[in-house]
Structure 1
C-alpha cells in the first residue's frame, strides 16, 4: 500500500506528530496508532513493524490511517504523560470525564481535550472518520475491546494466546476506549503488549504477534468496519 504523510500536529513542546494515510478514500477508515503513553515503547515498536510491512503490500487497498506515536514528547522523555503531565488516555471528552484521579500518572488535565495531541487526533477523526481504531499499548498481554469488535479481539487472542477482556478492572474516564463507541460510534480495540525484559525483547514481542496483526489485513477481518 502507498501511504502519504498528512499535515502534522504539534505537541505541547512543538514536536511534530506525524500521521499517514493510504491513497484509498473511504466513508470510514481503519486507524492504527501507538505511543499514547510515551513510555510504552513496545506498542510503538509493534506498530512500526506492522506499518513497514503494510507498505510492502501492493495488493491491498484499504482506507487506513496510521499515527505511529501520539505522545511524541512523552516518548522522547520516556514518560507515560505528555509534557504537561497529562495522561492523554484520560483527557478525551467522555461523559464520565472527571478531574479526580487515584494516582498522579492518571492526571486528566484541567479540562477535557485540553491537550494539543488529543486535539490533533480529534481533527483527524473528523476529517477521516474511523470505522475501527486499533490502539497499541503496553502493560500485560491482553486484548481489551470496547464496542462491537469482539470478533477482532478473539481473532487476535486465538493467535497469540492473550486474554480477551471487555473491562480491564478499573474505570478509564476520558480514555479512547470510552470515547470511541460513545462519541464516534466506532469500536476501539486496545491491545496491550507485555513489557519487554531480558527474556523477551521488542523483537520477540513483535514475533509473537506478527501473524495475528498481519492476519487482520490478510484475512480482511477489518472489512465490515468500512
Structure 2
C-alpha cells in the first residue's frame, strides 16, 4: 500500500509568522529510499510565474501519486512558496527586506549588493526562510534542487552534473540551457547547493509577465519526464 504524501502546513514560518508549507513523498527502489529532488517556488515574491508553476506541478504530483504512483520513480520535496510575505505583497524581498536568493550561507556570500532589491541580509542565513531550506538540505540530502523563477526565459544549471536534468526540463520550450545566469550571484541557492554541498541546482526562468495559464503547459513535459525517468547527477 502506498504511503500518502506528507504535507506539513507550518513546516517553517516567515519573519511575520506566516506559515510556509512543505510536501514530501518518498519512493523506494531495491528496498531503499531514493534520494529526493527538492523543488522550491516563490523565492522572489514578485515572480508569480514561479509560484504558479510550483502549484500546478504539485497538482500533477498529487494526482499521479494517487492514480499511478508507479510512474514516479524519484522521491521529492516541494515548497510551493518560500517567500510567502513577499508573494503576498508582490515584492522580491521578504518581510525583513532581504533577497532570499542572496542570503544563503555559501562560501562566496557577500554583504555587498547592487541595490535594495538584492540586499543579502545582515549576515549569511539571517532569514528564517533561508535557515529552513538550509536545514532541509542538511537533513534530506537531495540529489538535485530545482527552483522556479521568472525573468528572461532560460534554464540555468549550477554544477555540471545538472546539465542533463536541465535539458530535460527545458524540453520543448525552446528556452536555452545555460551554465550560469550571466552575472555573479553570491549567496544564491545555486551557489550554496553546488559550492558547499556538491548538489547541482537548476533555476527555471519563465518569461516574466507571461500569462500564468501558459506556465504549466510550457514545463509540464519536462517536469513529468524528470520525475518518471532516470537521469545522471
Q: Select which of 106, 114, 125 maps to 1:94.
A: 106
Q: Secondary structure at the match of 1:119?
A: helix
Q: Select which of 210, 224, 227 maps to 1:214.
A: 224
Does the aligned pair in 1 maintain the 2:73–2:227 contact within 8 Å?
no
Aligned-residue offset at 1:158: 4.2
Aligned-residue offset at 1:27: 5.8
Q: Secondary structure at the match of 2:63?
A: coil
Change beyond 3 A, Cα 1:177–1:86: same
CA distance in 1, matches of 2:119, 2:148: 20
Aligned-residue offset at 1:84: 0.4
- 1:191 counterpart residue number: 204
List per-residue Cα deviations over 1:105-144 (Å, max 9, x = no partner): 0000010000000111111112211110011111111000
CA distance in 2, matches of 1:192, 1:182: 21
Normalising by structure 1, we get a TM-score of 0.92
The 5 A counterparts of 1:5-24 are: 5-6=7-8, 8-24=11-27
Does the aligned pair in 2 maintain the 1:99–1:109 contact within 8 Å?
yes
- 1:159 counterpart residue number: 172
Aligned-residue offset at 1:70: 0.6
The 5 A counterparts of 1:1-226 are: 2-6=4-8, 8-24=11-27, 26=33, 28-57=35-64, 58-59=69-70, 60-147=72-159, 148-196=161-209, 200-218=210-228, 220-222=229-231, 224-225=232-233
Q: Secondary structure at the match of 2:122?
A: coil
Tell me which moved more, 119-128 or 74-83: 119-128
Aligned-residue offset at 1:221: 4.1
Q: Secondary structure at the match of 2:172?
A: helix
Aligned-residue offset at 1:62: 2.6
Q: What RMSD, in angstroms, separates the aligned Cα atoms of the two structures? A: 1.6
Q: Gapped runs of 5+ residues in structure 2?
A: none
Aligned-residue offset at 1:155: 2.2
Q: How many residues align?
A: 220
Aligned-residue offset at 1:3: 1.3
Q: Secondary structure at the match of 1:170?
A: coil
CA distance in 2, matches of 1:61, 1:37: 29
List per-residue Cα deviations over 1:14-36 (Å, max 9, x = no partner): 01111010143636211111100
CA distance in 1, matches of 2:34, 2:177: 29
Aligned-residue offset at 1:96: 1.4
CA distance in 2, matches of 1:61, 1:217: 6
